[in-house]
A and B are shown apart, each in its own frame.
Chain A
């Protein structure tokens, strides 16, 4: 039995690894894409940060408000005059900043004790201008406060009267969990790479074998059906794991390419994380391999199997979204759903949290169960599959 399993395993693995073209496509599309996206995100974040660091205010009509100009420049901001068609540019997202517009009679109105109206133009459809609008509004608040404080001081009132409460904002997210928001896609990429890695091998050893007409002669060997199925499954799961390992470790060099220092500092992904990813995915690789084989063994051709497997691919890629759309956060039943549980656990790994047995065991049990059921189904279907 063991010799049989080993023989089939060795042959299927060699066969799968010789399918260079398919492997290359999987490697390029699944393994390389993750780090690439990471680098692109880092470029995006760098761009946002650069704009935040620029300390620049785009303004129209600053010549009407020397006192405001004085205040803004004292806050070490530089002023840039807005282009004539700034409204159009903000709408089209060509201008990444909010625009401050000052009316002509600004200083005169102030002198009369009236409240001049200044406008801040931004667009919610233009997120960069939104971020900049927040900065401009804070600057204007500061200006208001300074002016009020000066007025009160002249009248001998303590500026403290102006503040009933003092507010200090504290961000409870540590750097790792802040980065997890950005890097939440890493587990998803690794999972999908693994699934696509398993797909071809699983289909080739089942539906492919039927299509070639090599399954019938194979079953005329004295090797038991279970040994055949176990050998095939072992090879498919190994290829899936190989791709998962490559994908998980591809993020290590990927992060060296990070173009953004803050993100690089926040993106804590080292050997520990990569190894934990692989450990978490190992049982799932077995389950998905068995599931794909069970789907494909019922199909006469590779093409038919591909069409049927699409359903599984879709389900596995949609399951992790449950956690995103679920407003209540992580629910206990998530642990029992394959793919969803693994992605959630990998998310925890990325946040630097420790994993408990209670978190790791349910997905492990479910994966083993799926693998066993899938393999029993394949072994039972094998003979009838030949004859149809």
Chain B
């Protein structure tokens, strides 16, 4: 379970007199339950990536806190990371290593034995349908192959909590489908707590049990797709999202979110 409580994050841009403080996140708040896929939906620049980076202990929050299975990320980052598998926005692989070596490396960094990491790599390869890729060097992998390898790498230590930042970015329709299928299986068969961020409504509609709409750095609404649609009185989820995430002003001007 991941609990994000009223987190805030400021960034300073520029130096000296030109310095400008930008409030990237100011009051994102949600709970992602076990055995449930939580979708973090928001326009570009809403603060989704910053929120997930704070959850993954990469960034210290200026306010609020994040707990993973009851462990405070800020005070015990290593313990929290051990219970989390994170597929971040940056998902670079080592091109001179094979997919298997990429996965095993992370397994060892998580303190797994070689045998355990090997067994996990085989298991994940089966689940993500990437067995033929395992012993190829990742140089020249397609986007979908890269994503699968990066996901297997993030899940090598069998974490109960999975955090994915825009996982379908750059994937074609088949790769997206197979990823969705894998995430559903992780939820249904193993009861994982899965949080993913996206700006694509269809993604949320198809996959999420619980939706958290983030806009201008704060949580503006949360619930199931049906609940949110009912709240706004829209039958189309896209309309629901636009109503929830943007102000009346923005809707008429067609602008993006504010913070980077």
Using a CB–CB distance below 8 Å, which chain A residues touch chain B? 3-4, 7-8, 11, 14-15, 18-19, 209, 212-224, 383, 386-387
Q: Find B93's partner among A3, A11, A214 (CB 8 Å cutoff).
A: A214
Q: Considering the chains assembled together, what is the distance between the CA atoms of A1 and B48 in angstroms?
A: 32
Q: Find B88's partner among A3, A19, A217 (CB 8 Å cutoff).
A: A217
The 8 closest A-B pairs by CB, nearest first: A214-B92, A213-B90, A213-B92, A212-B92, A222-B78, A216-B90, A18-B96, A221-B109
A230 shortest CB reach to chain B, Å: 13
Stretch among B36-44, B55-63, B173-181, B228-236 lining the A interface: B55-63
B196 shortest CB reach to chain A, Å: 15
Q: Find B58's partner among A213, A222, A386 (CB 8 Å cutoff).
A: A386
A252 shortest CB reach to chain B, Å: 32
Tell me whether A8 and B109 are in contact in the complex, defined as CB-CB below 8 angstroms, given that A15-B96, A220-B56, A222-B78 are known contacts.
yes
Tell me whether A220 and B92 are in contact in the complex, defined as CB-CB below 8 angstroms, given that A383-B58, A386-B58, A387-B59 are known contacts.
no
- Given contact pairs A18-B96, A222-B111, enumerate 19 new A-B contacts (beta carbons under 8 Å): A3-B111, A7-B109, A11-B94, A11-B101, A213-B91, A214-B94, A215-B90, A217-B92, A217-B154, A218-B109, A220-B58, A220-B81, A220-B86, A221-B106, A221-B110, A222-B81, A222-B82, A222-B110, A387-B53
Using a CB–CB distance below 8 Å, which chain B residues touch chain A? 53, 56-59, 77-79, 81-82, 84, 86-97, 101, 105-106, 108-111, 150, 153-154
Of all chain A residues, the one with the shortest Cβ separation from B105 is: A11
A-B contacts, 22 of them at CB < 8 A, read: A3-B108, A7-B108, A7-B109, A11-B97, A15-B97, A19-B96, A212-B95, A213-B90, A216-B58, A216-B88, A216-B90, A216-B92, A217-B150, A220-B56, A220-B81, A220-B84, A220-B154, A221-B106, A222-B78, A222-B110, A222-B111, A223-B109
Q: Considering the chains assembled together, what is the distance between the CA atoms of A212 and B88 in angstroms?
A: 13
CB contacts (< 8 Å) of A215 on chain B: these are: 90, 92
B221 shortest CB reach to chain A, Å: 28
- Are B88 and A221 in contact, CB atoms less than 8 angstroms apart? no
Of all chain A residues, the one with the shortest Cβ separation from B94 is: A15
B165 shortest CB reach to chain A, Å: 10
CB contacts (< 8 Å) of A216 on chain B: these are: 58, 88-90, 92
Q: Considering the chains assembled together, what is the distance between the CA atoms of A15 and B108 in angstroms?
A: 16
CB contacts (< 8 Å) of B84 on chain A: these are: 220
Of all chain A residues, the one with the shortest Cβ separation from B57 is: A220
Of all chain A residues, the one with the shortest Cβ separation from B50 is: A387
Of all chain A residues, the one with the shortest Cβ separation from B109 is: A221
A145 shortest CB reach to chain B, Å: 75
Q: Considering the chains assembled together, what is the distance between the CA atoms of A383 and B59 in angstroms?
A: 8
CB contacts (< 8 Å) of B81 on chain A: these are: 220-222
CB contacts (< 8 Å) of B57 on chain A: these are: 220
Q: Considering the chains assembled together, what is the distance between the CA atoms of A359 and B211 in angstroms?
A: 69
CB contacts (< 8 Å) of A7 on chain B: these are: 105, 108-109
Q: Considering the chains assembled together, what is the distance between the CA atoms of A11 and B154 in angstroms?
A: 17
A13 shortest CB reach to chain B, Å: 12
Q: Considering the chains assembled together, what is the distance between the CA atoms of A222 and B87 in angstroms?
A: 14
Q: Considering the chains assembled together, what is the distance between the CA atoms of A386 and B58 in angstroms?
A: 9
- Are B92 and A4 in contact, CB atoms less than 8 angstroms apart? no
Q: Considering the chains assembled together, what is the distance between the CA atoms of A386 and B130 in angstroms?
A: 29
CB contacts (< 8 Å) of B87 on chain A: these are: 217
- Are B93 and A212 in contact, CB atoms less than 8 angstroms apart? yes
Tell me whether A219 and B94 are in contact in the complex, defined as CB-CB below 8 angstroms, given that A4-B109, A8-B109, A11-B105 are known contacts.
no
Tell me whether A217 and B86 are in contact in the complex, defined as CB-CB below 8 angstroms, given that A15-B94, A18-B96, A224-B78 are known contacts.
yes
A327 shortest CB reach to chain B, Å: 46
B69 shortest CB reach to chain A, Å: 14
Q: Considering the chains assembled together, what is the distance between the CA atoms of A11 and B103 in angstroms?
A: 12
Q: Considering the chains assembled together, what is the distance between the CA atoms of A219 and B78 in angstroms?
A: 10
CB contacts (< 8 Å) of B105 on chain A: these are: 7, 11
Q: Considering the chains assembled together, what is the distance between the CA atoms of A218 and B86 in angstroms?
A: 10
B179 shortest CB reach to chain A, Å: 17
Q: Considering the chains assembled together, what is the distance between the CA atoms of A214 and B88 in angstroms?
A: 10
Q: Considering the chains assembled together, what is the distance between the CA atoms of A217 and B87 in angstroms?
A: 7
- Are B59 and A217 in contact, CB atoms less than 8 angstroms apart? no
A120 shortest CB reach to chain B, Å: 66
Q: Considering the chains assembled together, what is the distance between the CA atoms of A116 and B87 in angstroms?
A: 97
Q: Considering the chains assembled together, what is the distance between the CA atoms of A224 and B57 in angstroms?
A: 12
CB contacts (< 8 Å) of A15 on chain B: these are: 94, 96-97
Q: Considering the chains assembled together, what is the distance between the CA atoms of A4 and B106 in angstroms?
A: 10
Q: Residue among B57, B87, B88, B92 with the most chain A CB within 10 A?
A: B92
Q: Considering the chains assembled together, what is the distance between the CA atoms of A335 and B97 in angstroms?
A: 42
Tell me whether A217 and B91 are in contact in the complex, defined as CB-CB below 8 angstroms, given that A222-B111, A383-B58, A387-B58 are known contacts.
yes
CB contacts (< 8 Å) of B56 on chain A: these are: 220
Q: Considering the chains assembled together, what is the distance between the CA atoms of A8 and B58 in angstroms?
A: 19
Of all chain B residues, the one with the shortest Cβ separation from A216 is: B90
CB contacts (< 8 Å) of B111 on chain A: these are: 3, 222
